Amino acid sequence: MFQTPDNRENLSLKLSEVLDDIGINEQMVMRRREMQTLKENVATVVRRFLDEFITIYILGSQSEGTTTIGLHSDIDTLYCYHDYNIIQDLSEWEYDKDNYFMIQDENTTPGYCFLQLLRHDRPLPATDIPDKDHITDRKGRILLKNSKKIDLMCKGAVQHGPSIAKHGQHLFYDRDLVLAFPCKSWPQSASGWLERQGIGRWPTQQVKRDAASTPCFVVPTGSKVSVYPELEWRISTSVAERCIMFNLNITQIRCLVLMKMILKSFLNPQGGINLSSFMCKTVLLHCIENTERSKWKENNLLTCLIFCLLELNRCIQNDHCSHFIIQENNLFAGQFTPVTKYDLSNILSDFIQSIEQMILGIDIDDLGCRLQVKLNIVPQRAYDFPSSFEIREENSFDNNYKFAMELSDMHFQILEILNDEHNTTMKQSVEILVAYSKIGNWLAQDSFHLILPFLFTTHGTLLASYSIGENNQVSPETMALLLNGVNSDYTSGRLKLASVLYCTGDMENAEIILRHKEQTYHFFPVLPVCNCWENTPPQTGTAEFMSVCTKQSIKHNTAFCVRFIRPEINCVPHELQYEMFRSTQDDMTHRDKTDDCWMDWATVDSLPFLYFLQYKVYGHLQRYLDQQQALNKLIKTIETDENLGHRETALNILGQCMEQENRPQHALKCYMLSLGERKRNNAAKYHICRLLSRVLDDQ
């Protein structure tokens, strides 16, 4: 099997070069893994801040680094709810908690279990059905139905087996959200894997120990061949599997990527067959386990791929593919009809017979075209595909910018639940997170360093708004919070601080902050970041942003939109306060209750807000030449910046500046342009009515 002809060895090397060019190399794989790990840590921090005892795990292709831009892999996100205690032994029972005993007997499918409810006061079976989520089986056991997941589904999601799919969100990856409960201990059904040893002596004992130390879960789905599909919960070792994947070499990763491309291009082009990339990954792991490690190298890539495809075909023909860790769980059970099996097997056999030619026909990431150029079948000029440098840039930008959007979304979630009665709760939550951040072994330090500045700023502005409303002063403690938040990103934290200073009448210090930001803004590759609504991605100025790492790009290269929730109203210039009341009763019927909650806030892009604040501050300081320069810069930014997410808001504050300049016709034009950007839920309607009323009164 592993005797490689010379032509196949040459093709393997060229194929490895192509995969390197499209981003399947050690550097990009590590960058994807680091970014997704950082993202899951930050997401968990936010959940803890929101007082939700949830740990988030990002799994699958994105976190493993086994994908490309052209594969369009979604993100598999597991939400682990720690309110439940899933046990295999009664010694693991905990007092006054929702304890469930895992049952695996003749009625459960291998790899699945029932969850029997136990009493809260002692480790004994419960005798009363607590709610509609439970049922009594014929043995008198009270079992938890896996339909429990329906109560936890998020808005706009679609159910697919154990996961909830979120599709079509602009600038975000598609997501599969898996809801899970943690097992107290490693599943007994997985213990055999710890002792199993294949030809390749892989995974090593150390890798197995590391994998066995990771949490496992039960997820709410039954087997397709189950007699009781509504009662079964699948045992998941997905974090352990990620640990295993992190120990693959680059040839093994490339082999999996090729299998995914073949699956998407030839075996399942329309997405209607139950053959999945997870099944391909499982086949690969079995092949690695049962071959010598020395075979998995670049000049042997094609032979390794053929070996994996032959094994996949064997699994299809036998209707059996063992889960890599829980071996008695047959992943193919009930997945394929006889006709589907026959068709898949024939397609695979034909593909393997002419694999060299078939690979040349893979369109994903221009793989086939790139390989033809490498093999000198066609000249480079025959195709116009991105260079390897451009691919690396696109990958880097994709990682960094989408992470920034995710961070913006997490900040959005925090603001969504805050109001004026949450100040004490927020103070306690921030203090807890600060304490955790100093421990260093709870979550990655970078996670805290990224999210805490946003929390400091929001906490500071909430307190400042209350103080300004009381006595127009801000305490030193509040100012310290605001100063701790200035490095949330390049602009928004400092602009909120400048806005607080403006609202308290401290024009001199506000001017210093604004002048410094304005002087340095265009010396750095700063990109606006806004996920309040489905705006367009940045069009210009991305090159430098692509080349820096995620944490640096957030701190120094992103300008988040500036958000003020209603409890912060006293920290907002009155011209911007109108944005908090933009919706008429009719407008409210055209809003989404969750996604459009930002319409009750004052939200504005950083650069227009900077120039607007300068206009106001210079006016108070009677520096009229500087004031006019700031106004001209505000006008130019609105006219030329393609990346504004809140252009209608920028036009509204510009219109009010025009009114202050006694230029009502220009003000009216600004408001009309604003309505052109957003016809509903726009404060421009109020401004137009107010302006026309004033003009009529003057006449």
Q: CA 16 to CA 251: how far, in whole Å?
A: 8
Q: CA 248 to CA 254: how far, in whole Å?
A: 10
Joined tokens for residue 665: 């016709």
Give yes or no for a contact between 631 and 615, defined as CB atoms under 8 angstroms apart.
Answer: yes
Confidence of residue 405 (pLDDT cuts 50, 70, 90): confident
Confidence of residue 161 (pLDDT cuts 50, 70, 90): very low
Confidence of residue 672 (pLDDT cuts 50, 70, 90): very high
* Residue pLDDT, tens place only, 346-395: 999 999 999 999 999 999 999 999 999 999 998 877 777 887 777 877 77
Match 């009665």 to its residue by tokens: 421
pLDDT at residue 427 in the model:
64
Question: Does position 251 have pLDDT exceeding 50, yes or no?
Answer: yes
Residues of the chain with pLDDT > 90: what percent?
65
Is the domain 1-24+250-385 a CATH 1.10.1410.40 member?
yes
Strands 527-529 and 54-59: unpaired
Residues 6 or more apart in contact with residue 493 via CB below 8 angstroms: 453, 454, 457, 482, 485, 486, 487
pLDDT at residue 431 in the model:
66
* Residue pLDDT, tens place only, 184-200: 999 888 888 998 888 88
What's the pTM?
0.85
* Residue pLDDT, tens place only, 494-532: 999 999 999 999 999 999 999 999 988 877 778 888 888
* Residue pLDDT, tens place only, 90-138: 999 999 899 999 999 999 999 999 999 999 999 999 999 989 999 999 9
Residue ranges of domains in the chain: 1-24+250-385, 74-247, 390-645
On average, the pLDDT of the chain sits at: 88
Residues of the chain with pLDDT > 70: what percent?
89
Sign, CA torsion 465/468/471/473: positive
Q: Return the H-helix or E-strand segment holding 260.
A: helix 250-262
pLDDT at residue 150 in the model:
46
pLDDT at residue 673 in the model:
97
Mean pLDDT along residues 215-225: 94
